Structure 1
């Protein structure tokens, strides 16, 4: 039986050195049917220069240099160019375990109604050395679990934290993502676009969590998580509220847990004063 094609899509930006490591980790996959789509949003030609030898040697790699900076549209461009039945985003500073795709696609082939497969992700430093997990990347379960997607979504929402994984972590079926990547309930999220995509997928079926480290999440001073800081929380309240229409947080107790988690994150910061007032109003209406 012919194996389905998996598209590994990489929105690249000014990181030729780590991008090369990321590409190599895809080329080393034990799963044979993979194409690599690179859409380059860089402000210089270093990525293009690095990629030329790869294009000469590996026909499964496609490279597209954007004429202007596309930002979020670059993610959509990657998706549109993908020919695979399955898609896995790969950040240009992250790394795949060599068996990532093979181990994840097994669940789509063997079980019904799977819409998202994720795993534990190992944190690494700038040089690739292993780091202890941070709160968001701590192992959720010690055994492989197949669970209702909404249950996994609720775990993230009630913690106000993306415990499901960064874009690198998740494999999904292309046809299941029926909105643009990062769009949820009509809103394009930019700082938590991965969570928006995961909620859309989780609302449609079952999720798989694998406790093995099948990807490596690189932490460094210039990544978005560090440079955006508290701004990353600015979209969480909207997605918590919107998620109820998608079947998440379907009891008042779960909804309250999510709102209180958000309050804990932003309490004491003046820029979130309006959000705090909004939450207090919502909580009062639930009592």
Structure 2
């Protein structure tokens, strides 16, 4: 109970302007016990230079500049350096609503067996103006819900969309993530590493969904998802199959729905011919 330490961990990369906004949104949190861990994977010194005034005046902020690009390992480095009982990743182009941590930590303090708290996230543009939701960011419910984690995991899997949220969206207890961030059932996922972490957490307990916008997800032309394009789908089939080992998609109906959803997404792209063949083979065993 009380105010356990929350580590806000930021894998930074070449975006000093939006990183400043992100950091300010953490410093403005109403929750009193927060540390900020920044691991800088940038190819230049702009982030380090921007952080100078912060580092000289705020002991909450701990900054580490990588000697070489760590890519996914930078996410692990942030996590390892965090001292908090709770972890919230923050992308360097996203923003927290000022009561995010306080409203989310409440559920861990007041309810048992909570392993993941998420919320609606408001999409914003480069300048911070609100954008209409895209498919994955649409509000799931109009009221706060506490439910079995597998229900929320299944919702993402059968839609083939990360409706749970980007890394910025979710608060979790550090000890509950028993594999490295982005590793699920022994496999490191790179394109859907957030979903891999969420499934690991959701397999262990209950989830909370808050319909209020407690974070802001920035969409812009230089975003990773935009540059990766169709490749972002290439890991979905593997994670669908692996998730059944944790009790997700536990009926043939749910598994078929997820497979059909994935097949519909990729059916017109020659890069996924082998995936479609694998789906057809699996479906024959489920009939």
**So what's the TM-score if we normalise by structure 1?**
0.99
Matched, 1:120 2:99: no
4+ runs of 1 displaced by more than 4 Å? none
Name the CA distance, whole Å, in 2 between partners of 1:224 and 1:261: 23
Aligned residues: 287
Alignment of 1:224-263 (within 5 A): 224-263=224-263
Aligned residue in 2 for 1:59: 59
Aligned residue in 2 for 1:143: 143
Name the CA distance, whole Å, in 2 between partners of 1:263 and 1:113: 35
Query: Structure 1 residue 225: deviation in Å?
Result: 1.2
Aligned residue in 1 for 2:155: 155
Name the CA distance, whole Å, in 2 between partners of 1:261 and 1:222: 28
Query: Structure 1 residue 56: deviation in Å?
Result: 0.6
Query: Structure 1 residue 211: deviation in Å?
Result: 0.0
Aligned residue in 2 for 1:33: 33
Q: Give deviations 1:163-187, integer Å, cap 9, x for gaps.
A: 0000000000000000000000110
Name the CA distance, whole Å, in 2 between partners of 1:217 and 1:270: 31
Name the CA distance, whole Å, in 1 between partners of 2:189 and 2:71: 12
Aligned residue in 1 for 2:130: 130
Name the CA distance, whole Å, in 2 between partners of 1:71 and 1:119: 27
Aligned residue in 2 for 1:91: 91
Secondary structure of 2:128's counterpart equals coil
Aligned residue in 2 for 1:46: 46
Question: Gaps spanning 5+ residues in structure 1: where?
Answer: none
Query: Structure 1 residue 3: deviation in Å?
Result: 1.3
Name the CA distance, whole Å, in 2 between partners of 1:168 and 1:268: 32
Query: Structure 1 residue 2: deviation in Å?
Result: 4.4
Secondary structure of 2:43's counterpart equals coil
Aligned residue in 2 for 1:100: 100
Aligned residue in 2 for 1:182: 182
Aligned residue in 1 for 2:268: 268
Name the CA distance, whole Å, in 1 between partners of 2:192 and 2:261: 16
Aligned residue in 2 for 1:202: 202
Question: Gaps spanning 5+ residues in structure 2: where?
Answer: none
Query: Structure 1 residue 121: deviation in Å?
Result: 0.1
Name the CA distance, whole Å, in 2 between partners of 1:60 and 1:122: 27
Secondary structure of 1:10's counterpart equals strand
Secondary structure of 1:54's counterpart equals helix
